[in-house]
Chains A and B, each alone.
Chain A
């Protein structure tokens, strides 16, 4: 593919593009998702042995 005979090499190129597309989708999908409002729910617990 594209002058590169070894799938072990061209697959890396294909997956790089796939990652970029996923990143674009993820960024758009969760662009405004915020978690600070849930921060008060996060707490540490001390458990007694």
Chain B
């Protein structure tokens, strides 16, 4: 496809986003509109926006690449995305969250926790974890989008990153939450159609049917490289050897980290505050589930089968043909799909990146501006809140942009898992308690969050081989990469340590202290 046609398609897409963002801007009159879209969003918009926020370029480019390397076992993540991320999240968390939010007039996740426990330090701590931790996740999403633009347009990565950041900055700062939700719902439709097409066209590219292609991939088991077989790889249609390093990475980091972590994602939780009643959430369960199955399920499946395609066309498996796993999916799409689809697919990657990123920077900006600056520092006396939120969003985007320059190769999926694990360990016990455990008090919630965040950071810096070795603090202090070198500790994800610890602290402190002053009868 000529660069002229490609440019035209992107231009139309950007104009559509600009129009929706303008619509959001027109309907944003006050801080509530800016934070939760006025609290009366439509079912379809809410569910699609939730799905699009959930599925980032990281899920497509990063985890699709992981599927190419690890195989179809990553489908468990798709299952957890649907089961935990939509069914459990909407039915068991969403309804109560919405009711609690309405009751407490909470418009952000930190406000929800802080006001429920009637303890401002909880609100500030939640906001601080978001502001400090989310730039890593936002940066990997940004990188995912920029890498794809770099590959497709064949332009310099730095230019791709800059343009990409600029577009997101413009429409999030102007459109607020309404702009974010309108654009992400539109982007979800683009993603849904593209991934659906990818799933069906994949078999045409391979020249095989569903079972035949899976069987051919199974038959490629002997092509697993020795270095992957050594760490537990048993082929692309089999789970890694139980207890092997690859099994720990796949199961504890990627599947559990992301699968459980998604329940306590501030940018997703805030979606529950944007609807008027539980009816919208009931209706959204199917829309969200279908969206995730088609988008995530298709790309993970395609990622694993890309090995078959590369073997047929180049005589090499995916990770031999392209060493950076973050570049496997873009390269596969480029090589296997019709040229016109490559351009359209690029829009779906851009959509995935933009929808997630816009929600991330919105949450970071509102946390910094509303929860820390306006609520905590100015004690709710700040004037012109919408302006402050816009400044907060701008600073968040700038921070994420800068973090992109310190990221190394193949970091997209891992960066996502780190942030989701941090969120789960820090927020999940207190969040669940706020919805279901009236006895839990503010100190138990606060120290549980401190423990979860602290244990996550400690495990990343001193226990988990990949991050601890990369940062080097443990080596500098103790002369070795990790504190506990005995297997499997260096490959056990921090969430496996931090989440139980945070939960334990919450339970013990709740039973040790007198009954809370933040009891609720039923939410």
- By a beta-carbon cutoff of 8 Å, the part of chain A in contact with chain B is 2-6, 8-9, 12-13, 15-17, 19-20, 22-24, 26-28, 30-36, 39, 41-49
Contacts and interface: CB of A to CB of B under 8 A. Distances in A.
B78 interface: yes
Contacts of B103: 39, 42-44
Contacts of A24: 286, 289
A36 B276 contact: yes
What does DSSP make chain B's interface, helix, strand, loop or mixed? helix
Given A3-B214, A15-B79, A48-B517, 9 more contacts: A8-B239, A9-B239, A12-B79, A16-B75, A16-B297, A23-B289, A34-B279, A43-B520, A47-B519
Contacts of A3: 210-218, 237
State the 4 A-B residue pairs at the shortest beta-carbon distance, nearest first.
A3-B214, A3-B215, A27-B286, A23-B289
Contacts of A42: 99-100, 103, 520-523
B76 A12 contact: yes
A36 to B, nearest CB: 4
Contacts of A26: 87, 91, 282, 285-286
Q: Which of A12, A41, A49 is the most central at the interface, judged by chain B CB atoms within 10 Å of its CB?
A: A12
B82 A19 contact: yes
B99 A23 contact: no
Contact of B211 (A2, A12, A45): A2
A42 B439 CA distance: 16
Nearest to A6: B238
B282 A33 contact: yes
Contacts of B514: 49
A4 B148 CA distance: 31
B282 A27 contact: yes
Nearest to B278: A35
Q: Which of B71, B283, B286 has the most CB of A within 10 A?
A: B286
Given A4-B237, A6-B239, A26-B91, A31 B212 contact: no
A29 to B, nearest CB: 8
Contact of A16 (B71, B79, B276, B288): B79
A9 B72 contact: yes
Nearest to A26: B285
5 contacts: A5-B218, A33-B279, A44-B518, A45-B521, A47-B517
A4 B214 contact: yes
A22 B237 contact: no
B70 to A, nearest CB: 11
B300 to A, nearest CB: 10
Q: Looking at A8, A42, A44, which has the most chain B CB atoms within 10 Å of its CB?
A: A44
B378 interface: no
A19 B72 contact: no
Contacts of A39: 99, 102-103
B14 to A, nearest CB: 33
A49 B78 CA distance: 46
B239 A4 contact: no
B277 interface: yes
B521 A19 contact: no
Nearest to A7: B239
A20 to B, nearest CB: 5
Given A9-B73, A47-B516, A31 B282 contact: yes
B312 interface: no
A45 B520 contact: yes
Given A35-B99, A46-B517, A12 B78 contact: yes
A4 B72 contact: yes
Interface in B76-113: 76, 78-79, 82-83, 86-87, 91, 95, 99-100, 102-104
A32 B234 CA distance: 48
Interface string B280-322: 0011111111100100010000000000000000000000000
Contacts of A32: 279
A43 B285 contact: no
B515 interface: yes
Interface string B258-281: 000000000000000000111100
B520 A12 contact: no
A20 B294 CA distance: 11
Nearest to B513: A49
Contacts of A49: 514-515, 517
Contacts of B282: 26-27, 30-31, 33
Contacts of A20: 82, 286, 289-290, 293
Contact of B237 (A5, A33, A34): A5
A34 to B, nearest CB: 5
Contacts of A9: 71-73, 75, 237-239
Contacts of A28: 286
Given A16-B82, A42-B523, A44-B520, A36 B277 contact: yes
Given A27-B282, A39-B99, A6 B237 contact: yes
Contact of B83 (A5, A19, A45): A19
A45 B519 contact: yes
Contacts of B99: 35, 39, 42
